[in-house]
Structure 1
Amino acid sequence: MPTPETEVSPEIAPEFAAEFAPAKINLALHVTGRRANGYHMLDSLVVFCGIGDRLRAEKAPGLSLRLTGPFADQVPEGADNLVLRAARATAQTAAITLEKHLPPASGIGGGSADAAATIRLLRRMTGATGPDADTILALGADLPVCLAGRPARMRGIGERLDPVPPLPPAHLLLVNPRITLPTPAVFRALARRDNPPMPATLPDWPDAAALARWLTAQRNDLEAPALAIAPGIGAVLDRLSACPDALLVRMSGSGATCFALFGQPAPAQAAAQAIGAEHRDWWVAAGPVLR
């Protein structure tokens, strides 16, 4: 799990560094309003999963990016690549390699996680302290929470992060039907943008079952519009709902990745193997909730 970085003196900064970029999961996502500038207001319980991309960086006189991994061919290589934008925002140079394991545009913050990992890498290698909070948020609403890298209640347009009660041990099964779902299209399809937030105070969750029971009273307000755009998500939700020992099934973010919450690793891994064998065209992965 990523951890907050301390300043590093350039004289002792490493020549090489690596960083994990974990998948970001919205266990609940309430859309509570929209600002005059068009940005949506959110109230979301965000956690991270032990499934993700990996980044490596070496000191170099210029900035470059090499893409590897199973989803490398689906990542844009130009100047708009989020890793390169994040690196430029730090005003540092490096030869960066992104090993892409998370499907892009899938509602689990892959691009934001990669950008956040890039910032952590370059801070550690160079002693840089930037970019500032406004620049980080301008890179994307998920950047602040991905940079913090810990469970949080995310509010506002993504800039307000509050700690949450300690999470119990839990495991996630993630499934994506390999549908690319642009976030702006899902927000445009929202029928209502002023939905109720989560309760003001979050409870303690003694175990994964208690967390799941509480989550059943919460929502992902983007699930219905995503289903309207991509009905294939429904097949994933139905299949996850049939998994033995699944405590909760929901879509994450703006989709199309869906998740099942489990209390133990064995049923999550067993379900992943079964679904992967049945649907070889789906992306399927299981891992722990990082606490």
Structure 2
Amino acid sequence: MTAFSETGWAKINLALHVRGRRPDGYHDIETLFAFVDGGDAISAEFADADGLTIDGEFGEGLSAGGDNLVMQVLALLRGRYGADRVPTLAVRLTKRLPVAAGIGGGSADAAAMARLIRTHFLPEIGDATLARLVSPLGADIAACVASATCLGVGVGEELSEVPELRLAGTPVLLVNPRRPVATGPVFAAWDGIDRGPLFTGADFRAQLFSARNDLQRPAIAQCPAIADILLELGGLRPWLARMSGSGATCFALFDAAAERDAAVAQLAERHPDWWTMAGALR
């Protein structure tokens, strides 16, 4: 039986500046997206009716119905291009990434499903068109379609390339305390102070060090373990460590894979209850 597969690559926000609240309840942000070479797995095969099965370490309790973003993408693209182009599929989602973790799990899965459908049934659609079609389902989904380093503004859906940043292959470590953090309350607790733009010049990499995540403080108020993770990561000598998205996952970037792997070993000894994922930036 023919089977198709894709990966929902983990997303990290190398920086996230909140610039203001919008009348529609969302926030204007400036963020630098990057993606890790690991994530959730999606597979699909032809079936008589659509269906979704969820397994994996973090799959318990997730809805497998039509409200799941994976199935919403399938319905959206079939509605746009017709059942003769987008067939009924039995889909399996293996959740390897923590849920409500600031690394785009649901958005990454939705984007992976969109890419799977595009690759096998709608090959004429480019990344930009696909991102535009699925972005109404969630602000991060547009960036997750290409899953490549990019600058996001607006609510995060207005994307532009940053060729000055050559980060592909950079060793990265993700750490999560296995505690979900809801995005809405973190944004709601932002103090409303615009602390300035993300980038003001051409040297993006140099400015990464003075950039920030404006959601870090309200996220720590919800989940104090984030501060513990950042303290531990800082002691492992990465060249950059920060919280991703609205938390609780934090990341550390290293100069060498051996440094990252040594950090993994130390954290496993000190905090065996924390979730970690070692990889490289795409």
TM-score with structure 1 setting the length: 0.87
Shift of residue 51, structure 1, vs aligned partner: 2.0
Tell me the residue number matched to 2:81: none
Q: Quick check: 1:277 aligned with 2:269?
A: yes
Shift of residue 15, structure 1, vs aligned partner: 3.8
Shift of residue 119, structure 1, vs aligned partner: 0.6
Superposed CA deviations along residues 79-107 of structure 1, whole A, max 9, x for unmatched, are: 22111111111113211111110001100
Tell me the residue number matched to 2:192: 192
Decide which of 15, 22, 36 is 1:49's aligned counterpart: 36
Tell me the residue number matched to 2:259: 267
Helix, strand or coil for the counterpart of 2:265?
helix
Tell me the residue number matched to 2:58: 71
Helix, strand or coil for the counterpart of 1:253?
coil
Contact 1:75 1:104 in 2 (8 A): no
Shift of residue 76, structure 1, vs aligned partner: 2.4
Residue segments in structure 1 that go unaligned for 5+ positions in a row = 1-13, 205-210
Tell me the residue number matched to 2:82: none
Contact 1:16 1:125 in 2 (8 A): no
Tell me the residue number matched to 2:150: 152
Helix, strand or coil for the counterpart of 1:90?
helix
Contact 1:144 1:159 in 2 (8 A): yes
Task: Give runs of aligned pairs for residues 90-169 of structure 1, distance below 5 A.
Answer: 90-91=77-78, 92=86, 93-127=88-122, 129=125, 135-164=133-162, 165-168=164-167, 169=169
Shift of residue 71, structure 1, vs aligned partner: 1.1
Helix, strand or coil for the counterpart of 1:106?
coil
Determine the C-alpha separation between the residues in 1 that align with 2:57 and 2:113: 19
Residue segments in structure 2 that go unaligned for 5+ positions in a row = 79-85
Shift of residue 135, structure 1, vs aligned partner: 4.7
Runs of 4+ more than 4 Å apart: 128-135
Tell me the residue number matched to 1:11: none
Helix, strand or coil for the counterpart of 2:63?
coil
Shift of residue 133, structure 1, vs aligned partner: 5.4
Shift of residue 158, structure 1, vs aligned partner: 1.9
Contact 2:52 2:65 in 1 (8 A): no
Shift of residue 134, structure 1, vs aligned partner: 5.5
Determine the C-alpha separation between the residues in 1 that align with 2:52 and 2:280: 29
Contact 1:34 1:194 in 2 (8 A): no
Helix, strand or coil for the counterpart of 1:95?
strand
Determine the C-alpha separation between the residues in 2 that align with 1:247 and 1:151: 18
Helix, strand or coil for the counterpart of 2:66?
coil
Determine the C-alpha separation between the residues in 2 that align with 1:282 and 1:74: 20
Q: Quick check: 1:180 aligned with 2:180?
A: yes
Structure 2 CA distance for partners of 1:132 and 1:275, relative to 1, 3 Å: closer
Contact 1:137 1:158 in 2 (8 A): no
Helix, strand or coil for the counterpart of 2:281?
strand
Decide which of 33, 52, 55 is 2:20's aligned counterpart: 33
